[in-house]
Amino acid sequence: MQGDLFGGFRLKEKYDRIFNEAYSTLNERQKQAVDRIEGPVMVNAGPGTGKTQILAVRIGKILQDQDVAPHNILCLTYTDSATISMRNRLVEIVGPVAHKIHIHTFHGFCNQVIQENLDIFGGYKQLESISDLESVDVYRSIVDSIPDDNILKRYKGDKYFETKRLKHLFDLMKKENLEPDDVIQRLDKYLEEEKEDDQWIAKRGGSTKAGFKYKKGDFRSDKFEDFCKGFDNLRAAVEFFPVLREEMDKIERYDYNDMILWVLDAFKKDEELLARYQERYLYFLVDEFQDTNGSQNDLLSLLISYWEQPNVFVVGDDDQAIYKFQGANLNNIIDFKTKYDPFIVVLNENYRSNQHILDDAKGIIEFNTERLVNKDDTLEKELIARGKNSANVNKPRVLVFDKVSSEYAYLAKTLSEIHKTNPEHLQETAVIYRKHSQVEDLVNVLEKKNVPINIRRRVDILDHPLIRNLCNILWYLSDEYKRFGQGQHRLFEILHYNYWDVDSVDIGKIAMACQKRDEEDNYIEWRTMISDAAGLEQLNLRMPDEVLKASSHLEKWIKEIPEITIQNLFENVINEGGVLRYIMNQNNRSWLLQV
């Protein structure tokens, strides 16, 4: 017993020493952020300024100076990897007690609330997370429900063209905790503000082809009305948001955004439930605050709503909110500043880059007018290089090309030369880009030149041509199994796939023969035509055996549907249908196999 007691003291002394060493390495502004334990604090921390370190040291400071238990601290991060990184850093600084601190993503925290209160959330426990394929089915069902007279209804081209745009819209509505009426109100407000723009004022008099006359200085209502019509699809689309909920309930599925909305709804309706978590958590820390969406921000607001001056510490960088919806993210930062009047710290010492890189980056980001420093004259954000990289005098070189192909040619040539002369330097070479689609041509060129590359990308697998083709085959099999001839409209495309060796001229002859039979009121299904050896012989096809072979495979797979699993059927299509052989003959076979 005495040994355990002394062992505990020694362990505490060890981590007190480690904490003090970590604290002593902080610069002046980092220490300000760590020392201000009570009340709201907002830290503006750019890349390389040590924000992860100050989060960890601040938690250590709370545990050391305040009479709180580790489980009274809630740290909310943006990604699972950030959660792991934070936990590991805390273990280094405060020791095993770090495992008792509640560190979650927003979704992870909501899952904890649900699991701890199944009596309240019991209605959801039979639900399962929706898969990507199930999501496709749900959105196809939504499109099928669109009335014939609706602006979103398509009669030509891809019937399900709107599915991706609907999913993007509904995901955003869930993330921002918006109902259809909220979207319409925001849209109307935006259009009212847009109406005041000078672009709608006529610079000179004239008239339109439709006979609309206007004088210099007149409001061009015709142009503005055309502009407003561009949002008619959005107005129509939001009305199908309730249909999404109905379809999800029908198949007993949910997505991750639903978890936050469930907890938000429960906290709003059940004051006792909310109070329970407000009693548990006395200190709140939020990482990557600029990335919080509307529903996440609403959740945080509810959790800290009990206090006028909550002990909440948010860390973010307004300059990283540069994508499409960055305005909303910056509003979160501004709203927090307005509502809580926090103590603000701007971390301006960068330990990752040299001064040349920081200055060049500043020159670019200053084009963004929606920066926090432009909203508050008391703030300044001049990054200063510190640490081992500050002595690096290398300046970035900026090369400008007249067209994209010239840029790719330069990159391909440069990387090929490195591979030939100093191949060991390739592992220290990186090509940074915004979208994977931007470098597909470059990747293909490098693969042909046998330059080894390591590319990590997340892709919409359902949008890849290979997967689209395989799905089309599976849809055909399913349609034909349900009713003979139901999948006929897919066969013309399927027979053109490179996995078969069917001649394209032969496919054209079959199409013409079917059309002629139809015109003569002697209709024949494609499925019947391609399986009829005698009929194909009369068409003088170049390679009739390949058509019969493809038909034989399709008939076999249709017959197998009630007897084998979908996984086995998929494997048969891959192996027997020539798909695997096709993949292995491609230059990018390693990538296709991963897909």
CB 114 within 8 A of CB 262: yes
- Burial track 205-232 (b if 16+ CB lie within 10 A, e otherwise): eeeeeeeeebeeeeebeeebeebeeeee
For the segment 501-520, the average pLDDT, to the nearest whole number, is 86
Helices (H), 25-155: 28-35, 51-65, 80-94, 106-116, 118-121, 132-144
Q: Is residue 124 part of a domain?
A: no
Q: Which residue has the tokens 């955004």?
A: 257
Confidence label for 324 from pLDDT (cuts 50, 70 and 90): very low
Same domain, 274 and 313: yes
Pairs from 79-85 (Cβ < 8 Å, separation ≥ 24): 79/105, 80/105, 80/108, 82/287, 82/288, 83/108, 85/52
Nearest to residue 494, comparing CAs of 575, 559, 573? 573
**Count of H-run helices and E-run strands, the chain:** 29, 12
Express each pLDDT in 36-74 by its tens digit.
Answer: 999 999 999 988 898 889 999 999 999 999 889 999 999
The residues pairing with 286 across neighbouring beta strands, listed in sequence order, are: 76, 314
3-state secondary structure of 472: helix
Nearest to residue 275, comparing CAs of 306, 308, 311, 313? 306
pLDDT at 379: 80
> Given 341, 357, 388, which residue is the final one in a domain?
388
Of 227-241, 253-267, 388-402, 449-463, which gets the smallest average pLDDT? Answer: 449-463
Q: Which residue has the tokens 């993503």?
A: 105
Q: Is residue 395 part of a domain?
A: no
pLDDT at 8: 57
Same domain, 103 and 140: no
Question: Rounded to whole angstroms, how far apart are CA atoms 201 and 392?
Answer: 53
For the segment 427-443, the average pLDDT, to the nearest whole number, is 85
pLDDT higher than threshold 80 for residue 291 = yes
Same domain, 471 and 348: no
Same domain, 154 and 96: no
Q: Left (φ > 0), alpha (ψ -120 to 50) or beta: where does 341 sit?
A: left
Question: Rounded to whole angstroms, how far apart are CA atoms 405 and 399?
Answer: 14
> What is the count of structural domains for the chain?
4
Residues 6+ away with beta carbon under 8 Å from 421: none
Express each pLDDT in 226-251 by its tens digit.
Answer: 999 999 999 999 999 999 999 998 98
For the segment 388-397, the average pLDDT, to the nearest whole number, is 82
Token couple for 492? 């013309």
Token couple for 290? 């600029």
Question: Rounded to whole angstroms, how far apart are CA atoms 364 and 352?
Answer: 18
Question: Rounded to whole angstroms, how far apart are CA atoms 94 and 494?
Answer: 61
Greatest C-alpha distance within the chain = 102
Nearest to residue 50, comparing CAs of 386, 329, 394, 390? 386
Confidence label for 591 from pLDDT (cuts 50, 70 and 90): low
Nearest to residue 587, comparing CAs of 437, 454, 446? 446
Q: Which residue has the tokens 């290089």?
A: 385
Same domain, 486 and 587: yes
pLDDT at 380: 83
Same domain, 495 and 589: yes
pLDDT higher than threshold 90 for residue 452 = no
pLDDT higher than threshold 70 for residue 314 = yes
Q: Is residue 275 part of a domain?
A: yes
pLDDT higher than threshold 50 for residue 301 = yes
Q: Is residue 565 part of a domain?
A: yes
> What percentage of the chain reaches a pLDDT higher than 90?
48
Same domain, 437 and 477: no
pLDDT higher than threshold 80 for residue 347 = yes
Domain interval for residue 438? 404-458
Amino acid at 466: L
The residues pairing with 343 across neighbouring beta strands, listed in sequence order, are: 41
3-state secondary structure of 450: coil
Confidence label for 460 from pLDDT (cuts 50, 70 and 90): low
CB atoms within 10 A of CB 73: 24
pLDDT at 27: 93
Q: Are strands 206-207 and 213-214 parallel, antiparallel or unpaired?
A: antiparallel
pLDDT at 325: 42
CATH of the domain at 96: 3.40.50.300
- Phi and psi at residue 286, to the nearest 5°: -130, 125
Same domain, 246 and 262: no
> Given 251, 275, 297, which residue is the final one in a domain?
251
CB 253 within 8 A of CB 129: yes
Helices (H), 496-543: 504-519, 526-529, 533-538
Same domain, 188 and 303: no
pLDDT higher than threshold 70 for residue 7 = no
For the segment 276-289, the average pLDDT, to the nearest whole number, is 95
What is the helix (H) or strand (E) element at residue 101, kind and residue range?
none
For the segment 316-331, the average pLDDT, to the nearest whole number, is 63
Question: Rounded to whole angstroms, how far apart are CA atoms 189 and 166?
Answer: 22
Express each pLDDT in 84-141 by its tens digit.
Answer: 999 999 999 989 999 999 999 999 999 999 989 988 887 776 778 888 889 999 999 9
**Eight-class DSSP state of 396:** P
Counting every residue written for the chain, the total comes to 595
For the segment 520-529, the average pLDDT, to the nearest whole number, is 83
Nearest to residue 299, comparing CAs of 330, 322, 272, 265? 265
pLDDT at 326: 39
pLDDT at 303: 97
Same domain, 221 and 264: no
Q: Is residue 295 part of a domain?
A: yes
CB 302 within 8 A of CB 268: yes
CB 531 within 8 A of CB 567: no
> Given 199, 228, 251, which residue is the final one in a domain?
251
pLDDT higher than threshold 60 for residue 5 = no
Same domain, 490 and 518: yes
Express each pLDDT in 172-214 by its tens digit.
Answer: 999 989 999 999 999 999 999 999 988 989 888 888 887 888 8
CB atoms within 10 A of CB 150: 13
Q: Is residue 394 part of a domain?
A: no
Amino acid at 296: Q
Secondary structure (DSSP) of 201-236? B-SS-EE-TT--EE-TT-B-HHHHHHHHHTTHHHHH
For residue 209, CA distances in Å to 201, 218, 228 come to 18, 17, 20
pLDDT at 557: 94
Q: Burial level of 536, CB count in 10 A (0-12/13-18/19+)?
A: buried
Express each pLDDT in 547-560 by its tens digit.
Answer: 999 999 999 999 99
For the segment 493-509, the average pLDDT, to the nearest whole number, is 90
Amino acid at 277: Y
Residues 6+ away with beta carbon under 8 Å from 485: 525, 527
pLDDT at 84: 92
Q: Is residue 123 part of a domain?
A: no
Structure-model confidence comparison of residues 329 and 433, the more confident one: 433
What is the helix (H) or strand (E) element at residue 384, kind and residue range?
strand 384-385
pLDDT at 590: 66
Question: Rounded to whole angstroms, how far apart are CA atoms 546 and 532?
Answer: 13
CB 274 within 8 A of CB 267: yes
Q: Which residue has the tokens 């209160």?
A: 117
For the segment 512-535, the average pLDDT, to the nearest whole number, is 85
CB 558 within 8 A of CB 477: yes
Q: What does pLDDT average to over the chain? A: 88
CA 113 to chain CA centroid, nearest Å: 25
For the segment 128-157, the average pLDDT, to the nearest whole number, is 90
Question: Rounded to whole angstroms, how far apart are CA atoms 142 and 473?
Answer: 23
For residue 352, CA distances in Å to 333, 380, 517 come to 25, 20, 72
Q: Is residue 397 part of a domain?
A: no
Residues 6+ away with beta carbon under 8 Å from 247: 138, 141, 142
Same domain, 264 and 374: yes
